[in-house]
Amino acid sequence: MCHDSLAQVDGINAAPSLFSRTSLQPIRMEVNDTATILSSAFLAVEYVDAVLPDNPLQPSFQQAWGYMNDNYTKFQIATWGSLIVHEAIYFLFCLPGFLFQFIPFMQKYKIQPDKPETWEKQWKCFKMLLFNHFLIQFPMICGTYHFTEFFSIPYDWDSMPRWPYLLLQCLGCAVIEDTWHYFLHRLLHHRRIYKYIHKVHHDFTSPFGMQAEYAHPAETVILGAGFFIGIMVFCNHVTLLWAWVTFRLMETIDVHSGYDIPLNPMHLIPFYAGSRFHDFHHMNFVGNYGSTFTWWDKLFQTDAQYNKHQLGKKDQ
């Protein structure tokens, strides 16, 4: 990405020395901090894995996994299995936010209470989702089998990593995807191309969970590509594909939910952006470009307007 593109995003004037030797030092520090986090996470996983008792559901899960491998081909598992996982997880995680609009008690947690969901908006969103899921994403899912064959990714039970390792791999995938998302998302907000692609995602200034994958088909491909980079780096079993898609959908639906729910377990993730952070992006259109974490926005100070907004709310 060129310096001029970044400097002109949304009219934000980046510092002239953005990529000078001096200013690269914070970037190196961020990379080192990320590596330290991943290393610490790996050690924590090793410890947790050593002390955890066996999962009581493991025999049943092993039996179901064996049945799947015995009765379906790798192509069916990778293609149709991945599609079923994606659709089931997506709409399952969207369900709580959808129900919140009918529960008066939950309205106190809505971030923009003056902009309620409407049936018209939700129906418009649902139609776009069906188009994107089955005509854009499904052809991409069809390549999953060929990916696993090319890289000799196993499907068997004995090669499956334990869940703490899957969790760590998902964290690594999230770090990579968030980096891709920040820079490409910021580029999509450039004044010369915003109206052609990313404007579709901003049809709703007050997001709701189902809107997480409401986007122009080109954006679905451009930003969605970041999902697969981590897979290429970390994938050592087909279960990571499903674990990572579960984690990513849970995260993106949460930040688009429009509700800031107390005791949200997602906030246990270090540097997690959360719904308020991303909700401001939809309300303000400028800044807060990260998908999962806040560190790139902090580094390039594209969270300045959000921080000012939060301080103003505190003063009130």
- pLDDT at residue 4, rounded to an integer: 45
DSSP secondary structure, 20-37, as one string: SHHHHHHHHHHHHHHHHH
State the 10-residue block means of pLDDT for the chain, 316 residues long: 43 41 52 62 64 75 94 96 96 95 94 91 94 94 94 94 90 96 97 95 93 95 94 94 96 96 92 95 94 96 93 73
What pTM was computed for the model? 0.81
Q: What does the pLDDT read at residue 23?
A: 46
Coil vs helix vs strand at 276: helix
Q: What is d(CA 87, CA 42) in angstroms, rounded to the nearest whole number?
A: 31
CA–CA dist 234, 172 (Å, integer): 8
| CA 30 vs CA 18, 36, 174: distances in Å | 15, 10, 15
Report in angstroms the alpha-carbon separations of 277 from 149, 280, 283, 303. 39, 6, 10, 9
Note the pLDDT of residue 295: 96
By three-state DSSP, how is residue 272 classified? strand
Give the model's pLDDT for residue 16.
39
Question: How does DSSP assign 283-304, residue by residue?
Answer: HHSSS---SSBSHHHHHTTTTH
Cα(106)–Cα(92) distance, rounded to whole angstroms?
19
Cα–Cα distance between 226 and 179 in angstroms, integer? 8
Beta strands in 131-288 (DSSP E): none
Predicted pLDDT at 17: 40
Name the DSSP letter for residue 15. -
What pLDDT does residue 14 have?
Answer: 41
Q: What is the pLDDT of residue 228?
A: 93
Output the CA–CA distances (angstroms, integers) from residue 8 to 191, 194, 225, in the order listed. 8, 12, 24
Q: What is the pLDDT of residues 151-169, one digit of tens each?
A: 999 999 999 998 888 999 9
C-alpha span between 136 and 217 (Å, rounded): 7
